[in-house]
Structure 1
Amino acid sequence: MRVIAGRFKKTKLVAPKTFSTRPVLDQVKEAIFNILFNISDMQVLDLFAGSGSMGIEALSRDAAHCTFVENGKLALKAISENIAKCSLQPENLVIPTSVQSAITQLEKKKKSFDLIFVDPPYLKNLLNPTLAKLAKSSLIHEESIIVAEHHPKEPIEADKLGLVLTDERRYGQTLISFLALCPQKEEDV
Structure 2
Amino acid sequence: MTRIIAGKARGARLAVPTAGTRPTSDRVRESLFGALESFDAFAGARVLDLYAGSGALGLESLSRGAASADLVEHGRAAASIVRRNAAIVAKAGGLSTARVHESTVRSFLQRAAGPFDLVFSDPPYDLADDAMTADLVALAPLLSADALVIIERARRSTPPELAVAGLDLIREKSYGDTTLWWAEPATAQPEAESQSR
Q: What is the TM-score of this pair, normalised by structure 2? A: 0.87
Cα distance in 1 for residues equivalent to 2:66 and 2:99? 14
> Match of 1:56, SS?
helix
One-letter amino acid of the counterpart of residue 8, structure 2: R
Cα distance in 1 for residues equivalent to 2:162 and 2:176? 22
Cα distance in 2 for residues equivalent to 1:26 and 1:36? 15
Cα distance in 2 for residues equivalent to 1:113 and 1:158? 17
Residue deviations 1:37-82, cap 9 Å, x none? Answer: 1211100011111110001100000100001111101111110111
Paired position in structure 2 for 1:115: 118
Q: What is the TM-score of this pair, normalised by structure 1? A: 0.91
Residue deviations 1:69-102, cap 9 Å, x none? Answer: 1110111111011112223566521111111110
Paired position in structure 1 for 2:139: 134
Paired position in structure 2 for 1:30: 30
One-letter amino acid of the counterpart of residue 35, structure 2: I
Q: CA deviation at 1:127?
A: 2.3
**Structure 1 consecutive aligned stretches of length 4 or more whose deviation exceeds 6 Å:** none
Higher helix residue share: 2
Paired position in structure 2 for 1:105: 111
Identity of aligned residues (%): 33
CA contact (8 A) 2:59 2:98 kept: no
Paired position in structure 1 for 2:102: 96
Q: Kindly indicate whether residue 11 of structure 2 is the aligned counterpart of residue 10 of structure 1.
A: yes
Count of residues in correspondence between the two structures: 183
- 1:173 equivalent among 163, 174, 177: 177
CA contact (8 A) 2:133 2:164 kept: no
- In structure 1, the gaps of 5 or more residues are none
- 1:76 equivalent among 59, 76, 79: 79
One-letter amino acid of the counterpart of residue 74, structure 2: N
One-letter amino acid of the counterpart of residue 132, structure 1: V
- In structure 2, the gaps of 5 or more residues are none
> Match of 1:167, SS?
strand
Q: CA deviation at 1:166?
A: 0.4
Q: CA deviation at 1:28?
A: 0.6
Cα distance in 1 for residues equivalent to 2:4 and 2:110? 30
Cα distance in 1 for residues equivalent to 2:137 and 2:148? 15
> Match of 2:85, SS?
helix
